Structure 1
Amino acid sequence: MSVLQNALVLTARQGAFAISPISIPTPDRGQLLIKVQAAALNPVDWKVQANGIIVTDYPAILGTDIAGVVEELGDGVEGFRKGDRVLTQGYFHNTHAGFQQFTLANADVTAKIPSHLTFEQAATIPVGLGTAALGLYTQNVPPGVDFGSARLIPPWDPLGRGRYVGKPFMVLGASSSVGQYVLQLARLSGFSPIIATASLHNATHLQSLGATHVLDRQLSAFDLRTEVAKITSKPFDVIFDAVSLPATQNAAYEILAYGGCLIVVLYPRININPSTQAPGREKRVEKAFGQVNFPPENRAVGATLYRNLTALLEEGLIRPNRVEILPGGLAAAVAGLDRLRNGTVSGVKLVLRPQETT
């Protein structure tokens, strides 16, 4: 195997992308070297480039949704062998990012891909599912951090499957990648009804993932409350806002029950009227941090999720996003990220194939 590979690098803060040859990394203890067959694009990728956030060292490699083949095992790795088809979540470190032909992965947050799924389908799973799961099920969030969770019992735990039967649930932005996984986890947790907001042309697909009702995402806050009240009069203890614009956060917060938890994926922007609060039963607003590799609290949840993920996928209890393949290898990322930035992607995940890079 050559010691060099092709990578898509962000050349400087708020700079341009370029294809560049770089060294192939070597796995350390507990790590795998993966030959990347598919990498999915996420909104955070264009935000890093456009806003100069998160990344501090350049040139930088982005991409955190990864599927490929195990090429090499580090010391202490068990349960994998060379040639295994796997999926994992990367992060913004050049040796662990997805927009390259080979990358490192932490073995405890890596799972084998069932035979019925393609690499492209598998690459849609890590970030969306991780964000949904961590926002719902992380139990031990330390004080003083800017992320949190609804602290539910996860459905891959025998005590969590169907635990919340009869309780209503709502997800705003259900056709997003995160939203689609939130629906599936809510169904496994037993919630019902499960109310989704989305573009109505996605309704049939969202119902197949667990939504019992799909409401137009264009409804005003007043009309949304009215339509929800027609469906159920039970209190909403948990709402997940996978859009998290100020308008959606505030609409969800109004529907949320006192003592309930609203999970958002961006920083909270709630207009709270102190006179409407119920002392001792305040509504919690928690920002999900969708990274299973760190900090330790997330890593612990991520490891239990990934231990059970292959079985969940084999049983069809978790299904991947629908895929749009971007031809042309790593170079296709630039146009794809522009589409995400311009909001012209709906209900599908954009996926490229790094090995096609010339």
Structure 2
Amino acid sequence: MRIQWPVIFSFLQQQSALLLNSRQGSFSVGTVAVPVPGPNEVLIRVEAVALNPIDWKIQAYGMVVKTYPAVLGSDIAGVVEQVGLNVTAFGPGDRVITQGVLGVNEHSGFQQYSLGYDELTAQIPDWMAFEEAATMPLGLATASLGLYNAYNPHTSAGLLPPWEPTGRGRYSGKPFVALGGSSSVGHYVIQLAKLSGFSPIITTASLYNAPSLLALGATHVLDRHLAPETLRAQIGNITSEAIETIFDAVSISETQNLAYDLLAPGGSLVLVLQDIIEEKRKSADRRVVTVDGRIHYAPSRAMGVSLYAALSDLLENGEIQPNRVEVLPGGLEGVPAGLQRLQAGVSNVKLVAQPQARATVAGR
């Protein structure tokens, strides 16, 4: 049997990783082995990783992860170091993004090297910074799966994606509402709605974020602080057409009930949290679904493969734009403080760490 020296070399290397040491425990930077790519995987040197609310929720509530110490981090951007035996679409030196798999340390992002599945990895343009690219995987996947995952109708509106044949502009002239447009998910929902042809595209946000949301494709930005009855009246003044698709990227009780009241019979409301709409409002002719943003999850993987097959072109053409970025100081050591800020509330910006900064592992 021929020995594959690059694989053995990779296996012997160590790296820095941010570890959640126990359920509802503390974070600390420690040392773990660099993972070895399987036949359909790529090994990525992680240049940037974005923070998401799920990361602090896992620590606070002890959810999702079963085995500790755990590596978290869902938004990965970096450089391919090594490819598995069956991988032909990528090679060492390629600049890529992929979505981490929470609960699988080797596929998570708060470390210096991570694995990505080849069919769920995409190249990024040379002109795009890694920090910008790292804002996309989870937010874009959540928006895409919520709107277009016909493979899992229980978690999606089931629309035709704009990157598939006949999908571009398919919903031309139909109104669309996105609550929480300045959230990371809302940022991508607006862009996808534009590609799908929806118009008008109405979103709610703090008004100081209006210019950036209008640049993404929103046609109207309404003050999220307005009372629900005022928002309903203002939306009614913008369009008298039936609103058949609404994406609530906030999904608190107030926004869910507002969205449901706006929804036309036969329409679909997509939530990012569990349905808590008042029962007295509900009727059998309106669909309410809660999106699952895991593109690796079996009912969503086919949709994820479709998205990632088209993603490089969408990025190169500027049709999908990343979130605004704030880079955290201190590399992995800066992530816990960033998660505390995220828990307190961050608007219209993505917090991003650089795992290669201030590396503490000897020999790297």
Give the TM-score normalised by structure 2: 0.94
The 1-side partners of 2:278 and 2:329 are apart by: 44
The one-letter code of the counterpart of 2:275 is P
Q: Which runs of 5+ in 2 are unaligned?
A: 1-9
The one-letter code of the counterpart of 1:52 is G
**Structure 1 counterpart of 2:294:** 291
The 2-side partners of 1:266 and 1:189 are apart by: 24
Question: For each residue in 1:209-268, what CA deviation from the matched residue of structure 2 results, as whole angstroms up to 9, or x when unmatched?
Answer: 010000011111111100000100001100000000111111100001111100000011
The 1-side partners of 2:204 and 2:117 are apart by: 35
SS of the residue corresponding to residue 97 of structure 2 reads: strand
Structure 1 residue 155 corresponds to structure 2 residue 162: yes
Shift of 1:272: 2.6
The one-letter code of the counterpart of 1:36 is V
Q: Which runs of 5+ in 1 are unaligned?
A: none
Shift of 1:100: 0.3
**Structure 2 counterpart of 1:168:** 175
**Structure 1 counterpart of 2:6:** none
The one-letter code of the counterpart of 1:86 is V
Question: For each residue in 1:250-300, what CA deviation from the matched residue of structure 2 results, as whole angstroms up to 9, or x when unmatched?
Answer: 1100001111100000011111327x63x5xx11110010111112x3110
**Structure 1 counterpart of 2:127:** 116
**Structure 2 counterpart of 1:67:** 77
Pick the aligned partner of 1:102 from 113, 137, 140.
Answer: 113
Structure 1 residue 192 corresponds to structure 2 residue 202: no
CA RMSD of aligned residues (A): 1.1
**Structure 2 counterpart of 1:335:** 337
The 2-side partners of 1:35 and 1:184 are apart by: 29
The 2-side partners of 1:29 and 1:299 are apart by: 18
**Structure 2 counterpart of 1:347:** 348
The 2-side partners of 1:16 and 1:110 are apart by: 31
Shift of 1:158: 2.1
The 2-side partners of 1:175 and 1:158 are apart by: 29
Pick the aligned partner of 2:141 from 118, 124, 130.
Answer: 130
The 2-side partners of 1:178 and 1:45 are apart by: 15
**Structure 2 counterpart of 1:319:** 321
The one-letter code of the counterpart of 2:115 is L
The one-letter code of the counterpart of 1:38 is A
The 1-side partners of 2:270 and 2:99 are apart by: 21
Question: For each residue in 1:162-203, what CA deviation from the matched residue of structure 2 results, as whole angstroms up to 9, or x when unmatched?
Answer: 000010000000000000000000000000000000010000
Structure 1 residue 253 corresponds to structure 2 residue 254: no
The one-letter code of the counterpart of 2:49 is A
Structure 1 runs of 4+ with >3 Å offset: none
**Structure 1 counterpart of 2:218:** 211
The one-letter code of the counterpart of 2:355 is P
**Structure 1 counterpart of 2:152:** 141
Structure 1 residue 38 corresponds to structure 2 residue 45: no
| 2:266–2:287 contact (8 Å) kept in structure 1 | yes
The 1-side partners of 2:344 and 2:221 are apart by: 24
Shift of 1:29: 1.4
The one-letter code of the counterpart of 2:295 is V
The one-letter code of the counterpart of 1:306 is Y
The 1-side partners of 2:214 and 2:126 are apart by: 25
Structure 1 residue 233 corresponds to structure 2 residue 240: yes
Question: For each residue in 1:61-104, what CA deviation from the matched residue of structure 2 results, as whole angstroms up to 9, or x when unmatched?
Answer: 00000000001101211111111000000111101000000011
The 2-side partners of 1:148 and 1:351 are apart by: 28
Give the TM-score normalised by structure 1: 0.95
Aligned residues: 348
